[in-house]
Amino acid sequence: AKKYVVFERCKIRLERLKPGTLTFLDYFLLGAFSKLVATIFTYPFLTIKTRLQILKKERPEYANVISAFMAIVKNEGFIGLYKGLNSKIFQSVLAAAILFVSKEKMYSFIF
């Protein structure tokens, strides 16, 4: 849901800066940017959730969300919350960019 909020807000700002119809490339870049922002903000929660699911029984420091967060930051630094982000960004940003281009083009075709 966050990517849609970012997309719509950025789209409104871009329409003010660039009056007229936005291009395919505009929508593609807006979609990619919105997913990038959403992923950067939500990825630590996904990391914690995954670690809890996998390690909760094996490691007592992963008893709950707060303790898992503290254990990751203590043992791996803040950057540990973002392990694996590179591959996630490539996959999800490209998919979101295509999704938003398709959505906007269908919307303009229908309405």
pTM: 0.79
Torsion 21-22-24-27 (CA) sign:
negative
Please determine, for residue 60, whether its predicted confidence score (pLDDT) is greater than 90: no
pLDDT at 21: 83
HEC secondary structure over the chain: CHHHHHHHHHHHHHHHHCCCCCCHHHHHHHHHHHHHHHHHHHHHHHHHHHHHHHHCCCCHHHCCHHHHHHHHHHHHCHHHHHCCHHHHHHHHHHHHHHHHHHHHHHHHHHC
pLDDT band per the 50, 70, 90 thresholds, residue 108: confident
Please determine, for residue 56, whether its predicted confidence score (pLDDT) is greater than 80: no
